[in-house]
A and B are shown apart, each in its own frame.
Chain A
Amino acid sequence: MGTAQTSPYTPATHIFRRDLNHYSADESSQRGFSRVLNELLLTFAQWLGAQQWSVGLHESFYMYNWIETTHVLTLTVFLGMLFVIDLRMLGVALTNVPASKIAERLDLPMMIGFTVMIVTGLLLFYAIPVRTTQSVWFRLKVILLIAAGINAWIFRNRMKKAKPTWDLDPTPPKNVRVGAGLSLSLWIVIIFAGRAIAYDWFDCGKDQSAFMNWAAGCVAAAAE
Protein backbone atom coordinates (compact mmCIF):
# COMPACT_ATOMS: atom_id res chain seq x y z
CA MET A 1 0.00 0.00 0.00
CA GLY A 2 1.27 3.44 -0.80
CA THR A 3 0.99 6.57 1.19
CA ALA A 4 -2.34 8.11 1.94
CA GLN A 5 -3.81 9.85 -1.03
CA THR A 6 -5.51 12.21 1.36
CA SER A 7 -4.63 12.98 4.92
CA PRO A 8 -7.35 13.81 7.40
CA TYR A 9 -6.30 17.41 7.04
CA THR A 10 -6.89 17.53 3.33
CA PRO A 11 -10.39 17.51 1.91
CA ALA A 12 -11.06 13.85 1.35
CA THR A 13 -14.21 14.88 -0.32
CA HIS A 14 -13.27 16.61 -3.47
CA ILE A 15 -11.81 13.61 -4.99
CA PHE A 16 -12.45 13.94 -8.36
CA ARG A 17 -14.90 13.29 -10.86
CA ARG A 18 -11.87 12.51 -12.78
CA ASP A 19 -11.75 10.69 -16.02
CA LEU A 20 -12.62 7.26 -14.85
CA ASN A 21 -15.18 7.48 -17.61
CA HIS A 22 -12.37 7.25 -20.07
CA TYR A 23 -10.44 4.58 -18.37
CA SER A 24 -9.64 1.45 -20.32
CA ALA A 25 -9.11 -1.56 -18.15
CA ASP A 26 -7.30 -4.73 -18.96
CA GLU A 27 -9.92 -6.51 -21.01
CA SER A 28 -9.10 -9.86 -19.43
CA SER A 29 -9.98 -8.65 -15.93
CA GLN A 30 -13.72 -8.61 -16.62
CA ARG A 31 -15.58 -11.36 -18.41
CA GLY A 32 -19.13 -12.44 -19.04
CA PHE A 33 -21.70 -11.65 -16.41
CA SER A 34 -19.45 -9.54 -14.20
CA ARG A 35 -18.46 -7.39 -17.18
CA VAL A 36 -22.08 -6.77 -18.13
CA LEU A 37 -22.98 -6.03 -14.52
CA ASN A 38 -20.08 -3.64 -14.07
CA GLU A 39 -20.87 -1.87 -17.34
CA LEU A 40 -24.46 -1.44 -16.21
CA LEU A 41 -23.34 -0.09 -12.85
CA LEU A 42 -20.92 2.30 -14.53
CA THR A 43 -23.55 3.50 -16.98
CA PHE A 44 -25.93 4.11 -14.08
CA ALA A 45 -23.21 5.93 -12.13
CA GLN A 46 -22.35 8.08 -15.14
CA TRP A 47 -26.01 8.97 -15.58
CA LEU A 48 -26.29 9.79 -11.89
CA GLY A 49 -23.07 11.81 -11.92
CA ALA A 50 -24.22 13.88 -14.89
CA GLN A 51 -27.24 15.17 -13.01
CA GLN A 52 -27.18 18.80 -12.06
CA TRP A 53 -27.85 18.10 -8.36
CA SER A 54 -25.05 15.55 -8.20
CA VAL A 55 -22.57 18.03 -9.68
CA GLY A 56 -23.90 20.78 -7.43
CA LEU A 57 -23.59 18.64 -4.31
CA HIS A 58 -20.07 17.58 -5.20
CA GLU A 59 -18.96 21.11 -5.88
CA SER A 60 -20.64 22.64 -2.87
CA PHE A 61 -17.90 22.76 -0.24
CA TYR A 62 -20.17 23.40 2.74
CA MET A 63 -23.09 21.18 1.73
CA TYR A 64 -20.90 18.18 0.98
CA ASN A 65 -18.89 18.64 4.16
CA TRP A 66 -21.98 19.05 6.31
CA ILE A 67 -23.40 15.84 4.90
CA GLU A 68 -20.15 13.98 5.49
CA THR A 69 -19.86 15.44 8.99
CA THR A 70 -23.41 14.33 9.78
CA HIS A 71 -22.62 10.87 8.40
CA VAL A 72 -19.55 10.52 10.61
CA LEU A 73 -21.00 12.10 13.76
CA THR A 74 -24.09 9.92 13.56
CA LEU A 75 -21.71 7.01 14.19
CA THR A 76 -21.95 8.02 17.83
CA VAL A 77 -25.72 7.56 17.80
CA PHE A 78 -26.03 4.44 15.67
CA LEU A 79 -22.81 2.56 16.41
CA GLY A 80 -22.63 4.05 19.90
CA MET A 81 -25.94 2.41 20.81
CA LEU A 82 -25.03 -0.77 18.94
CA PHE A 83 -21.68 -1.07 20.73
CA VAL A 84 -23.37 -0.63 24.12
CA ILE A 85 -25.89 -3.36 23.22
CA ASP A 86 -23.13 -5.65 21.91
CA LEU A 87 -20.97 -5.12 25.01
CA ARG A 88 -23.97 -6.01 27.20
CA MET A 89 -24.55 -9.13 25.11
CA LEU A 90 -20.89 -10.04 25.54
CA GLY A 91 -21.45 -9.78 29.29
CA VAL A 92 -18.88 -7.01 29.83
CA ALA A 93 -21.01 -3.87 30.27
CA LEU A 94 -24.08 -2.91 32.29
CA THR A 95 -24.32 -6.48 33.56
CA ASN A 96 -26.68 -5.44 36.38
CA VAL A 97 -29.32 -4.39 33.82
CA PRO A 98 -31.42 -7.06 32.02
CA ALA A 99 -30.00 -7.60 28.53
CA SER A 100 -33.40 -7.32 26.86
CA LYS A 101 -34.01 -3.90 28.43
CA ILE A 102 -30.76 -2.56 27.01
CA ALA A 103 -31.52 -3.98 23.56
CA GLU A 104 -35.17 -2.94 23.43
CA ARG A 105 -34.84 0.53 24.94
CA LEU A 106 -31.85 1.51 22.81
CA ASP A 107 -33.37 0.15 19.62
CA LEU A 108 -35.23 3.37 18.72
CA PRO A 109 -32.30 5.81 19.04
CA MET A 110 -30.13 3.27 17.25
CA MET A 111 -32.55 3.00 14.33
CA ILE A 112 -32.89 6.80 14.14
CA GLY A 113 -29.11 6.97 13.85
CA PHE A 114 -29.10 4.20 11.25
CA THR A 115 -31.69 6.04 9.14
CA VAL A 116 -29.65 9.25 9.18
CA MET A 117 -26.53 7.30 8.22
CA ILE A 118 -28.28 5.63 5.29
CA VAL A 119 -29.72 8.92 3.98
CA THR A 120 -26.42 10.80 4.30
CA GLY A 121 -24.52 7.81 2.90
CA LEU A 122 -26.75 7.75 -0.19
CA LEU A 123 -26.19 11.49 -0.65
CA LEU A 124 -22.43 11.01 -0.42
CA PHE A 125 -22.67 8.32 -3.10
CA TYR A 126 -24.88 10.57 -5.21
CA ALA A 127 -22.23 13.32 -5.10
CA ILE A 128 -19.39 11.08 -6.37
CA PRO A 129 -21.05 8.11 -8.07
CA VAL A 130 -18.55 7.09 -10.76
CA ARG A 131 -15.45 6.84 -8.58
CA THR A 132 -17.42 5.30 -5.72
CA THR A 133 -18.98 2.63 -7.93
CA GLN A 134 -15.47 1.59 -8.98
CA SER A 135 -14.05 1.63 -5.45
CA VAL A 136 -13.11 -1.76 -4.11
CA TRP A 137 -13.64 -0.40 -0.59
CA PHE A 138 -17.15 0.80 -1.33
CA ARG A 139 -17.97 -2.63 -2.77
CA LEU A 140 -16.53 -4.33 0.31
CA LYS A 141 -18.52 -1.95 2.53
CA VAL A 142 -21.79 -2.82 0.79
CA ILE A 143 -21.10 -6.57 1.12
CA LEU A 144 -20.23 -6.18 4.81
CA LEU A 145 -23.32 -4.04 5.43
CA ILE A 146 -25.45 -6.87 4.03
CA ALA A 147 -23.56 -9.37 6.20
CA ALA A 148 -24.05 -7.17 9.29
CA GLY A 149 -27.76 -6.90 8.47
CA ILE A 150 -28.13 -10.68 8.23
CA ASN A 151 -26.18 -11.12 11.47
CA ALA A 152 -28.41 -8.56 13.21
CA TRP A 153 -31.54 -10.37 12.02
CA ILE A 154 -30.28 -13.78 13.21
CA PHE A 155 -29.04 -12.22 16.46
CA ARG A 156 -32.37 -10.56 17.16
CA ASN A 157 -34.33 -13.78 16.61
CA ARG A 158 -31.92 -15.75 18.74
CA MET A 159 -32.20 -13.18 21.49
CA LYS A 160 -36.00 -13.20 21.45
CA LYS A 161 -36.18 -17.00 21.64
CA ALA A 162 -33.68 -17.32 24.48
CA LYS A 163 -34.72 -14.24 26.44
CA PRO A 164 -36.73 -15.94 29.23
CA THR A 165 -33.84 -18.22 30.14
CA TRP A 166 -30.90 -15.79 30.43
CA ASP A 167 -32.17 -12.22 30.44
CA LEU A 168 -31.05 -11.53 34.01
CA ASP A 169 -27.73 -13.37 33.74
CA PRO A 170 -24.69 -11.08 33.69
CA THR A 171 -23.17 -13.24 30.94
CA PRO A 172 -25.47 -14.32 28.09
CA PRO A 173 -25.18 -17.76 26.42
CA LYS A 174 -22.34 -18.47 24.01
CA ASN A 175 -24.36 -18.16 20.78
CA VAL A 176 -25.52 -14.67 21.81
CA ARG A 177 -21.95 -13.66 22.67
CA VAL A 178 -20.72 -14.97 19.33
CA GLY A 179 -23.37 -12.90 17.52
CA ALA A 180 -22.37 -9.79 19.48
CA GLY A 181 -18.67 -10.37 18.79
CA LEU A 182 -19.38 -10.84 15.09
CA SER A 183 -21.46 -7.66 15.04
CA LEU A 184 -18.67 -5.62 16.68
CA SER A 185 -16.06 -7.03 14.29
CA LEU A 186 -18.16 -6.47 11.18
CA TRP A 187 -18.89 -2.86 12.06
CA ILE A 188 -15.26 -2.08 12.79
CA VAL A 189 -14.28 -3.44 9.36
CA ILE A 190 -17.15 -1.43 7.83
CA ILE A 191 -15.70 1.73 9.39
CA PHE A 192 -12.32 0.83 7.90
CA ALA A 193 -13.81 0.22 4.44
CA GLY A 194 -15.70 3.52 4.64
CA ARG A 195 -12.56 5.39 5.65
CA ALA A 196 -10.49 3.67 2.94
CA ILE A 197 -12.81 4.88 0.15
CA ALA A 198 -10.99 8.23 0.43
CA TYR A 199 -7.66 6.61 -0.47
CA ASP A 200 -6.60 5.90 -4.06
CA TRP A 201 -4.71 2.68 -3.38
CA PHE A 202 -6.72 0.56 -5.82
CA ASP A 203 -8.36 3.10 -8.10
CA CYS A 204 -9.10 2.00 -11.65
CA GLY A 205 -6.39 3.17 -14.01
CA LYS A 206 -3.57 2.32 -11.64
CA ASP A 207 -1.00 -0.26 -12.56
CA GLN A 208 -2.40 -3.11 -10.49
CA SER A 209 -3.27 -6.79 -10.68
CA ALA A 210 -6.14 -8.13 -12.78
CA PHE A 211 -7.75 -9.28 -9.53
CA MET A 212 -7.90 -5.73 -8.16
CA ASN A 213 -9.30 -4.45 -11.45
CA TRP A 214 -11.92 -7.19 -11.23
CA ALA A 215 -12.72 -6.47 -7.57
CA ALA A 216 -13.06 -2.74 -8.24
CA GLY A 217 -15.20 -3.45 -11.29
CA CYS A 218 -12.97 -1.52 -13.68
CA VAL A 219 -14.38 -1.68 -17.18
CA ALA A 220 -13.47 -0.06 -20.46
CA ALA A 221 -15.48 3.11 -20.78
CA ALA A 222 -18.61 3.14 -22.81
CA ALA A 223 -18.29 6.90 -23.10
CA GLU A 224 -15.28 6.83 -25.39
Chain B
Amino acid sequence: MDVMSFFTWLEGSTLGHIAKSYGGVYAVAQTVHLASMALLGGTVLVTDLRLLNVALRDVPSNAVADGAHKWFKVALAIILLSGIFMVAGVAMKAYYNDFYWAKMAALAAGILFVFAVKRPLLKRDHSQIPGWLLKLVAVASITVWFTVAACGRWIGFS
Protein backbone atom coordinates (compact mmCIF):
# COMPACT_ATOMS: atom_id res chain seq x y z
CA MET B 1 0.00 0.00 0.00
CA ASP B 2 1.54 3.31 -1.03
CA VAL B 3 1.20 6.50 1.01
CA MET B 4 -1.67 7.93 -1.01
CA SER B 5 -3.66 4.69 -0.82
CA PHE B 6 -3.15 4.69 2.93
CA PHE B 7 -4.50 8.24 3.26
CA THR B 8 -7.46 7.38 1.02
CA TRP B 9 -8.19 4.34 3.16
CA LEU B 10 -7.79 6.39 6.37
CA GLU B 11 -10.30 9.00 5.28
CA GLY B 12 -12.82 6.30 4.37
CA SER B 13 -12.30 4.36 7.60
CA THR B 14 -14.62 4.46 10.62
CA LEU B 15 -12.19 6.83 12.31
CA GLY B 16 -12.28 9.15 9.30
CA HIS B 17 -16.07 8.97 9.21
CA ILE B 18 -16.39 9.91 12.90
CA ALA B 19 -13.85 12.74 12.58
CA LYS B 20 -15.62 14.10 9.52
CA SER B 21 -19.19 13.75 10.72
CA TYR B 22 -19.11 14.91 14.33
CA GLY B 23 -17.85 18.45 14.76
CA GLY B 24 -18.13 18.24 18.54
CA VAL B 25 -15.97 15.12 18.72
CA TYR B 26 -13.45 16.73 16.39
CA ALA B 27 -13.27 19.85 18.56
CA VAL B 28 -12.70 17.69 21.65
CA ALA B 29 -9.84 15.93 19.84
CA GLN B 30 -8.37 19.33 18.91
CA THR B 31 -8.63 20.38 22.56
CA VAL B 32 -6.85 17.22 23.74
CA HIS B 33 -4.20 17.77 21.05
CA LEU B 34 -3.65 21.39 22.11
CA ALA B 35 -3.63 20.60 25.86
CA SER B 36 -1.07 17.84 25.37
CA MET B 37 0.93 20.15 23.11
CA ALA B 38 0.99 22.64 26.00
CA LEU B 39 2.18 19.89 28.36
CA LEU B 40 4.81 18.68 25.92
CA GLY B 41 5.99 22.26 25.40
CA GLY B 42 6.06 22.78 29.17
CA THR B 43 8.23 19.75 29.81
CA VAL B 44 10.58 20.64 26.94
CA LEU B 45 10.87 24.27 28.06
CA VAL B 46 11.36 23.47 31.75
CA THR B 47 14.24 21.14 30.88
CA ASP B 48 15.77 23.39 28.23
CA LEU B 49 15.49 26.59 30.26
CA ARG B 50 17.19 24.76 33.13
CA LEU B 51 19.99 23.58 30.81
CA LEU B 52 20.37 27.16 29.59
CA ASN B 53 20.53 28.36 33.21
CA VAL B 54 17.51 30.58 32.71
CA ALA B 55 15.03 28.95 35.10
CA LEU B 56 15.20 26.67 38.16
CA ARG B 57 18.90 27.43 38.54
CA ASP B 58 18.89 26.26 42.17
CA VAL B 59 17.46 22.84 41.28
CA PRO B 60 19.79 20.08 40.01
CA SER B 61 19.34 19.82 36.25
CA ASN B 62 19.36 16.01 36.39
CA ALA B 63 16.28 16.08 38.63
CA VAL B 64 14.47 18.49 36.29
CA ALA B 65 15.35 16.52 33.13
CA ASP B 66 14.35 13.15 34.64
CA GLY B 67 11.07 14.44 36.09
CA ALA B 68 10.07 16.29 32.94
CA HIS B 69 10.88 13.42 30.58
CA LYS B 70 8.26 11.14 32.18
CA TRP B 71 5.51 13.64 31.36
CA PHE B 72 7.03 14.40 27.96
CA LYS B 73 6.38 10.75 27.01
CA VAL B 74 2.78 10.95 28.26
CA ALA B 75 2.16 14.16 26.31
CA LEU B 76 3.75 12.75 23.15
CA ALA B 77 1.59 9.62 23.28
CA ILE B 78 -1.62 11.67 23.64
CA ILE B 79 -0.52 14.06 20.87
CA LEU B 80 0.11 11.16 18.49
CA LEU B 81 -3.23 9.47 19.25
CA SER B 82 -5.31 12.65 18.94
CA GLY B 83 -3.30 13.65 15.86
CA ILE B 84 -4.10 10.37 14.08
CA PHE B 85 -7.79 10.95 14.77
CA MET B 86 -7.61 14.53 13.51
CA VAL B 87 -5.80 13.67 10.30
CA ALA B 88 -8.26 10.85 9.59
CA GLY B 89 -11.02 13.43 9.09
CA VAL B 90 -9.05 15.42 6.52
CA ALA B 91 -6.61 12.83 5.24
CA MET B 92 -6.63 13.81 1.57
CA LYS B 93 -6.32 17.51 2.33
CA ALA B 94 -3.40 16.69 4.61
CA TYR B 95 -1.82 14.53 1.93
CA TYR B 96 -1.72 17.47 -0.47
CA ASN B 97 -0.63 19.99 2.17
CA ASP B 98 3.07 20.86 2.24
CA PHE B 99 2.93 22.06 5.82
CA TYR B 100 1.47 18.75 6.97
CA TRP B 101 4.51 16.94 5.57
CA ALA B 102 6.84 19.60 6.98
CA LYS B 103 5.27 18.99 10.37
CA MET B 104 5.63 15.21 10.05
CA ALA B 105 9.29 15.60 9.07
CA ALA B 106 9.92 17.93 12.00
CA LEU B 107 8.03 15.60 14.35
CA ALA B 108 10.12 12.62 13.22
CA ALA B 109 13.27 14.69 13.71
CA GLY B 110 12.05 15.77 17.18
CA ILE B 111 11.28 12.22 18.32
CA LEU B 112 14.58 10.95 16.95
CA PHE B 113 16.44 13.81 18.59
CA VAL B 114 14.86 13.18 21.99
CA PHE B 115 15.26 9.42 22.11
CA ALA B 116 18.57 9.07 20.23
CA VAL B 117 20.44 12.18 21.36
CA LYS B 118 18.92 14.25 24.14
CA ARG B 119 17.72 11.59 26.53
CA PRO B 120 20.80 9.33 26.34
CA LEU B 121 22.94 12.38 27.00
CA LEU B 122 20.84 13.81 29.83
CA LYS B 123 20.65 10.44 31.63
CA ARG B 124 24.32 10.92 32.45
CA ASP B 125 25.57 13.07 35.33
CA HIS B 126 25.25 16.63 33.98
CA SER B 127 28.29 17.82 35.91
CA GLN B 128 30.37 15.53 33.69
CA ILE B 129 28.99 17.02 30.46
CA PRO B 130 30.48 20.24 29.02
CA GLY B 131 28.23 23.25 29.59
CA TRP B 132 28.30 24.27 25.95
CA LEU B 133 27.00 20.84 24.92
CA LEU B 134 24.07 21.05 27.33
CA LYS B 135 23.23 24.50 26.01
CA LEU B 136 23.52 23.34 22.41
CA VAL B 137 21.14 20.45 23.11
CA ALA B 138 18.68 22.86 24.74
CA VAL B 139 18.71 25.27 21.78
CA ALA B 140 18.35 22.42 19.27
CA SER B 141 15.46 20.99 21.29
CA ILE B 142 13.56 24.30 21.47
CA THR B 143 14.14 24.85 17.75
CA VAL B 144 12.91 21.46 16.62
CA TRP B 145 9.75 21.48 18.80
CA PHE B 146 8.94 25.06 17.86
CA THR B 147 9.17 24.02 14.20
CA VAL B 148 6.77 21.13 14.80
CA ALA B 149 4.20 23.35 16.50
CA ALA B 150 4.53 26.23 14.02
CA CYS B 151 4.14 23.93 10.99
CA GLY B 152 1.13 22.35 12.69
CA ARG B 153 -0.55 25.70 13.16
CA TRP B 154 0.23 26.77 9.64
CA ILE B 155 -1.50 23.67 8.19
CA GLY B 156 -4.76 25.38 9.03
CA PHE B 157 -3.84 28.49 7.08
CA SER B 158 -2.49 26.95 3.92
Cβ of B45 within 8 Å of any chain A Cβ, yes or no, is: yes
Cβ of A114 within 8 Å of any chain B Cβ, yes or no, is: no
Return chain B residues, CB-CB under 8 Å to A196. 27
For B, the interface residue count at a CB cutoff of 8 angstroms equals 51
Give the interface centre of A3, A4, A106, A188 by most chain B CB atoms within 10 Å.
Answer: A4
Which listed residue (A8, A10, A96, A106) contacts B46, Cβ 8 A?
A106
Return chain A residues, CB-CB under 8 Å to B23. 1-5, 199, 201
* C-alpha spacing A61/B156, complex, angstroms: 12
Contact B38 A75 (CB under 8 A): yes
Cβ of B41 within 8 Å of any chain A Cβ, yes or no, is: yes
The residues in B between 9 and 41 inclusive whose CB is less than 8 angstroms from any CB of A are 20-24, 26-28, 30-31, 34-35, 37-41
Which listed residue (A73, A84, A95, A101) contacts B153, Cβ 8 A?
A73
Cβ of B101 within 8 Å of any chain A Cβ, yes or no, is: no
Cβ of A211 within 8 Å of any chain B Cβ, yes or no, is: no
Cβ of B141 within 8 Å of any chain A Cβ, yes or no, is: no
Contact B157 A13 (CB under 8 A): yes
Contact B45 A8 (CB under 8 A): no
The residues in B between 102 and 158 inclusive whose CB is less than 8 angstroms from any CB of A are 145-146, 149-150, 153-158
Contact B22 A3 (CB under 8 A): yes
Cβ of B1 within 8 Å of any chain A Cβ, yes or no, is: no
Cβ of A12 within 8 Å of any chain B Cβ, yes or no, is: yes
* C-alpha spacing A7/B87, complex, angstroms: 10
Which listed residue (B41, B154, B156) contacts A12, Cβ 8 A?
B156
Contact A81 B34 (CB under 8 A): no
Return chain A residues, CB-CB under 8 Å to B64. 94, 97
* C-alpha spacing A108/B59, complex, angstroms: 16
Given A7-B89, A11-B156, the answer on whether A105 and B56 have CB atoms closer than 8 Å is yes
- Residue-wise, chain A 83-127 has the 8 Å CB interface mask toward B (1 for contact) of 110010000011111000110011011000000000000000000
Contact B27 A195 (CB under 8 A): yes
Closest to B58 in A: A101
Contact B67 A97 (CB under 8 A): yes
* C-alpha spacing A73/B154, complex, angstroms: 11
Contact B58 A80 (CB under 8 A): no
B122 CB to closest chain A CB (Å) equals 15
Given A3-B23, A93-B71, the answer on whether A73 and B42 have CB atoms closer than 8 Å is no
Which listed residue (B68, B86, B146, B157) contacts A73, Cβ 8 A?
B146
Return chain B residues, CB-CB under 8 Å to A1. 22-24
Return chain A residues, CB-CB under 8 Å to B43. 80, 84
Cβ of B55 within 8 Å of any chain A Cβ, yes or no, is: yes
Contact B46 A84 (CB under 8 A): yes
Which listed residue (A10, A76, A109) contacts B156, Cβ 8 A?
A10
Contact A195 B30 (CB under 8 A): yes
Cβ of B49 within 8 Å of any chain A Cβ, yes or no, is: yes
Contact A65 B157 (CB under 8 A): yes
Given A8-B86, A101-B58, A192-B31, the answer on whether A80 and B45 have CB atoms closer than 8 Å is yes
Return chain A residues, CB-CB under 8 Å to B153. 68-69, 72-73
Return chain A residues, CB-CB under 8 Å to B44. 76, 80
A-B contact pairs, 20 of them (CB 8 A): A3-B21, A4-B27, A7-B90, A8-B86, A11-B156, A61-B157, A65-B154, A76-B40, A76-B45, A79-B42, A80-B43, A84-B43, A93-B70, A95-B67, A96-B67, A97-B64, A106-B56, A108-B55, A191-B31, A201-B24
Chain A residues within 8 Å of B, Cβ to Cβ: 1-5, 7-13, 61, 65, 68-69, 72-73, 75-84, 87, 93-97, 101-102, 105-106, 108-109, 187-188, 191-192, 195-196, 199, 201
